Structures are given as structure tokens and as C-alpha cells.
Amino acid sequence: MSESESDGAEFDEQPAALGVKVGSTRTVVSAGDANDPNVVRTLTCLATYEDALTGEEHVLYGEEAATEYPDRVRYMLRSGLPEDEETTDLAKTFLEEFARSNGLPEDSVVVYAIPTIDNDVGLERLSEIIEDGPIGERLVRSYPESLCGAVPALGDGLEAIEETFVAVNMGSTNLEACAYRRGEQLAPFSTGAITGTEVDRRIANYVEEETQGRVNIDLTTAREYKEEHADFLDYEPFSDIIQQPGGGTYEFTIEESVMDAVDEYVDDAVDEVANVFMPELANDYMKIYQQALDNPVVLTGGMACIPGVVDEFEQRLSEELERDVTATTADDPATAAARGAHRIAGRLVELNEY
């Protein structure tokens, strides 16, 4: 976490480089020195309230909005992309507030990590948000999220943009897979059926079953259980306490629910990658398929944070494909796309591409 010193006129003239990922659950910005960045992560949500004195409308975003106004907080990218004009406007306001309160420089070259979803209207709305956004006065570019997320996974520079490999992005609303050849995306595939959000839903259902119907948790709690406890290497059953409707508290322990749900997720993801995506890639680009699988499959996205998930994925994918493949991920996959985007932005500044 560094503070950059600008002690020469030469440096002052260069715009700042920023990497941004606006995700359905969280927004991540990587700023400062791309080799030792300042990373800020916040919930992608917004709430407004009226000033008690002046009647003016004020805006809150992120954790503050979620905790103080749970009754009317809006997650405007719930499904991954803005769905209509209203959520597009909310997302613009969110980005403005976020940029302002984090002091993100207008005079900047910004790379956005964006999803690969087959939804042209949604993607157009997203690029409208980006284009109208408060940062990136010099240049705004977007690159696929899984390419950005692969950048910190494959080296200290931009090796990901020179190589041929398969990336699998494990997000909250989509599972995406594609091959990259020098940054070019081949055979892009995505499905909304295998997702982090679906895992949260299953955890909620399984918790109800495991507690014989006594405990109903909401999806936020289910997500928190997953993020705090899911672990393929070293899972520890954990306890929680609920307030009972009639009064009193009820303490329960979760042995199976979380790991059952993430275990099924990995099976489903491997099945989809091995039996739907890979055959398409092999069919369209046989040589690339062979070359790509000589390199590690890069897992990106927040679900790749689960300890041990990479080895599980690697083993199960090898079994399914009946050949040895390896898998890898960045340290802290949840922020990797923003950090990778930041590195790309830094390179664009160096190359004077603005």
C-alpha cells in the first residue's frame, strides 16, 4: 500500500492509472502504483435519504447503505448487468459517489473489467455507465473480467496477454469460460445456472433441512456463511444463534450445509466446463484447445477464493476430461480482476496510449 510521490513535472503530466471492476455484489477499484496497489472493495449498492433539516436528498453507498438502510437499499446490478434505465441511472450515481469519496482522479486512464455475458442491451447500458462515469477523462477501455483476473495469476507483468490458456470465471451471477490467445477471446461461453448466488440459495435450504426446519436464514447470511466457512482443506463445523419468534434464542451447528452446497457447485462447474465448453472449444479450435490445456486453467472470480477449490477443480476436471490438466488462480481472486485491469491501465499509460 504505497503513496506515490510526484516530485517531477514529468510525473505530474502523466494521468493516473486505475483498474475498476463493477460486480453484481461488489465493486473493486485498484489505484496508486500498479505493482503495489491500493485496493478498495465495496458493496455495489445505494440508498437515499432526505436531510432532516434541508429536505435535500442525500446518497449513501456500499456497506453504510446496506447496514443503515436495509429496508430500501438497492443493488442495481443484481443480475450482473443493468436491467433498465432506472438501474442504469442508479449505477451512475453509485459510481459518482464512490469515485468522489475515494478521491479517484478524473485525470486518469481507466481499465474496466467487464463480464462476458451474451446480453448486448445490458452490456451497452454498462458501457454507457462507464463512458458517462466520473473517471477516465484521458482514456477508458474495457477488457474481459476473466482476462483481467488472470493477469495477477500468471505472473508479475502482463504474461496473461501473451499466452494461450483457458480461463473460468466463477462469479455471483454467472459461470464464464473461454480461451485466450494473446488477449483475444475464443469460444466464449457463459451460463447463469451455476453461480455463487445459487450456492447461497442452496446453503439457505440445506440449513433449513439440517436444523429440521427450525432455522431460516436469508441469502446475505448464507453468503456470509459461505465466505467465512467454506473450505475444502480444513472445514470446521460452526455454530450460530437465532432469536426465536416466541422469545429466547436457539443455538445450532452447521456440519454439512455449506460444504454440500459448494461441493455440488464445483461438480456442476466442472461438468459444464468439461462437457459443454471444452467440446465447443475443441470443435472450433482444435490446435488452440491442445495448446491451451498444456497451460494451467486459470480460475477467476470470487468463488475461486474458497480454500482448496483450485485443487478440487483440477482433480475433478482431469477425471472428467481423462487427461491431466492443472489449474491455478491469483492470490485473492476477489480483487484480482481490478488489480489486473490496473496493470493493463498502467501499461497503457507507459505506452502513451491516451
Q: Using CB under 6 A, list all residues that contact ligand ATP.
A: 23-26, 80, 115, 171-174, 196-197, 223, 226-227, 230, 301-303, 305-306, 334
Nearer to Mg ion, 108 or 172 (CB): 172
Task: Give which of ligand ATP, Mg ion, none residue 334 binds (C-beta under 5 to 8 Å, depending on kind).
Answer: ligand ATP
Secondary structure (3-state) at 66? helix
Task: Give which of Mg ion, ligand ATP, none residue 83 binds (C-beta under 5 to 8 Å, depending on kind).
Answer: none
Nearer to ligand ATP, 133 or 171 (CB): 171
Least separation in angstroms between CB 173 and ligand ATP: 4
Among 82, 122, 171, 296, binds Mg ion (CB under 5 A): 171
Least separation in angstroms between CB 270 and Mg ion: 19
Least separation in angstroms between CB 339 and ligand ATP: 13
Residues 5-14: contacts with CB under 8 Å, at least 24 apart: 14/349
Task: Give which of ligand ATP, Mg ion, none residue 306 binds (C-beta under 5 to 8 Å, depending on kind).
Answer: ligand ATP
CA distance 20 to 345: 10
Task: Give which of ligand ATP, Mg ion, none residue 211 binds (C-beta under 5 to 8 Å, depending on kind).
Answer: none
Task: Give which of Mg ion, ligand ATP, none residue 133 binds (C-beta under 5 to 8 Å, depending on kind).
Answer: none
Nearer to Mg ion, 40 or 321 (CB): 40
Nearer to Mg ion, 88 or 172 (CB): 172
Annotate 82-129 with DSSP letters as a single string: --SHHHHHHHHHHHHHHHHHTT--SSEEEEEEE---S-HHHHHHHHHH
Least separation in angstroms between CB 105 and ligand ATP: 24
C-alpha cell at 300: 477467476
- Number of residues in contact with Mg ion, rule: CB under 5 A? 4
C-alpha pair distances (Å), 291 with each of 151, 297, 321: 19, 11, 15
Secondary structure (3-state) at 314? helix
- The contacts of residue 108 (CB under 8 Å, 6+ apart) are 15, 16, 17, 18, 135, 136, 137, 138, 345
Nearer to Mg ion, 141 or 326 (CB): 141
Closest CA to 308 of 203, 218, 202, 235: 235
Least separation in angstroms between CB 43 and ligand ATP: 10
Nearer to ligand ATP, 95 or 305 (CB): 305
Nearer to ligand ATP, 66 or 288 (CB): 66
Task: Give which of ligand ATP, Mg ion, none residue 314 binds (C-beta under 5 to 8 Å, depending on kind).
Answer: none
Nearer to ligand ATP, 126 or 135 (CB): 126
Nearer to ligand ATP, 189 or 289 (CB): 189
Least separation in angstroms between CB 235 and Mg ion: 26
C-alpha cell at 276: 459443454
Judged by CB under 5 A, does residue 340 bind Mg ion? Answer: no
User: What is the layout of strands, in order, in the sheet containing 36-43?
Assistant: 36-43, 26-33, 16-22, 108-114, 139-144
Closest CA to 313 of 170, 160, 165, 144: 170
Secondary structure (3-state) at 254? strand
Provide the 8-state DSSP code for 304: G
Provide the 8-state DSSP code for 15: P
CA angle 221/223/229 to nearest 5° reads 95
The kind and range of the H/E element at 180 are strand 175-181
64-123 residues near Mg ion, rule: CB under 5 A: 115
Least separation in angstroms between CB 210 and ligand ATP: 19
Q: Using CB under 5 A, which of the segments 25-33, 65-73, 140-148, 305-313 binds Mg ion? A: 140-148
The CA-to-CA distance between both ends of the chain, in Å, stands at: 26
Residues near Mg ion (CB under 5 A) = 23, 115, 145, 171
